[in-house]
Amino acid sequence: MSHPRKYEPIKLSPKIKAITMPSSRASVGIRYIRADSQPNWIQRVKEKEGDAELISTKPPETINVNSPILEALEKIASRDIRGLIVTDTKETLKGIIMATDLVNYLGGGEYYRIVEQRYKKDVYTSLRNEKISSIMNSMPVFVNKSQKLTEIIRLMAVNGLGMLPVVNNENKVIGIITEHDIVRYIAYKNVGRKVSDIMTSNIVAAFDNDTLKRAAQLMSLYGFRRIPVISSKNNEIVGIVSAKDFVSYFGSHKAFENVRSLDIEEILKMPITEIIKDNVYTINQDTDIGDAATLMNQFNTNNLIVINDNREALGIITERDVLIALSMR
């Protein structure tokens, strides 16, 4: 089926298109489906009231709404998670903040203007003083603990969500559901569709000689948490960089170790090799989507490089692609 490819570059197929430049005319990224779509595979699993509580991770990782952005960075880095649920002192849901929001703030997107204009690019002051409420999603979609699986999948796919808070009848946060939880739930089940049916052939990627800022811009603009890294010498995939890796670079304080000033631009000029990982996971184009879910669960990854029998990269499949496939008629 597939296995991790370490230290073994993957050649790009001539059919694949790699998007490596930020553009205002972004045409790939977060995918959505019709609001009336329903899972066509649900009869293959047992569904009952209370699925939300059953499949959610408990207790959820939370952060207080008045916390500084630095605390969110440190929590995501130390716990190796994709985001945090934001609550008040009574544990009532106030929002969510994702690793991608932090990448946006630290140089990738429109939130970076706060660092530039309010803090004159002083990165440490901007992290200590700015509250997470400035960049969090203050109106998150959430579900009650009694929600059924079909509705959970539909909500996540329709809204392009990677994380869904679960609340009880008093609106207190009791759990969290991520795309990975859904993928884990359907692992080892046959879906009846091939990986090639839902893969993205136009991949967003960075080059191995790009800067951290370029990686942040690509992830923020196109809406991907992980992007492949391509060799600038021979156009082969040599690694992966993720929003979590970027956030951990700052949250672990490693970003501040080798710079002479607290000007964030000095940090963002660092090479992408500072955070690149070489564990690239692959899957054959003819594999069932259920097997793709199994591999994602096994390797704890949210994407796989799709290859042909010649081990040439044809595209990429993400947890969100799997979720959308499950939500289509």
Q: Is residue 255 a contact partner of residue 145, using CB atoms and an 8 Å limit?
A: no
Domain span at residue 50?
A: 42-179
Number of domains in the chain: 2
Same domain, 165 and 226: no
Contact 278, 290 (CB under 8 A): no
Chain length of the chain: 329
- Buried-state track 126-152, b at ≥16 Cβ within 10 A, e below 16: bbeebebbebbeeebebbebebbbbbb
Question: Same domain, yes or no, for 100 and 143?
Answer: yes
Same domain, 194 and 304: yes
Q: What is the CATH number of the domain that holds 102?
A: 3.10.580.10
Same domain, yes or no: 160 and 206: no
Residue 262 lies in a domain: no
What pLDDT is stored for residue 47 in this prediction? 52
State the Cα–Cα distance between residues 204 and 223, nearest whole angstrom: 10
Burial class for 78, CB neighbours closer than 10 Å (0-12, 13-18, 19+): exposed
Residues 47 and 124 in one domain: yes
Amino acid found at 129: N
With CA atoms as reference, report the closest residue to 289 among 311, 314, 318, 310: 318
Name, in order, each residue with C-beta under 8 angstroms of 119's C-beta and a sequence gap of 6 or more: 125, 126, 129, 130
* pTM, two decimal places: 0.87
Which residue bears the tokens 């994407």?
Answer: 303
With 0-12 CB in 10 A as exposed, 13-18 as middle and 19+ as buried, what is 35? exposed
**Given this model, what pLDDT does residue 191 score?**
78
13 and 54 in a single domain? The answer is no
Whether 110 is in a domain gets the answer: yes
Q: Residue 192: its pLDDT value, please?
A: 85
Claim to verify: residue 232 and residue 314 sit in the same structural domain: yes
* Domain edge (last residue) among 179, 202, 221: 179
**pLDDT score recorded for residue 281:** 93
Residues 172 and 203 in one domain: no
Domain boundary among 131, 158, 179: 179
168 occurs within a structural domain: yes
Please list the ranges in the chain whose pLDDT falls under 50.
4-7, 24-25, 29-46, 329
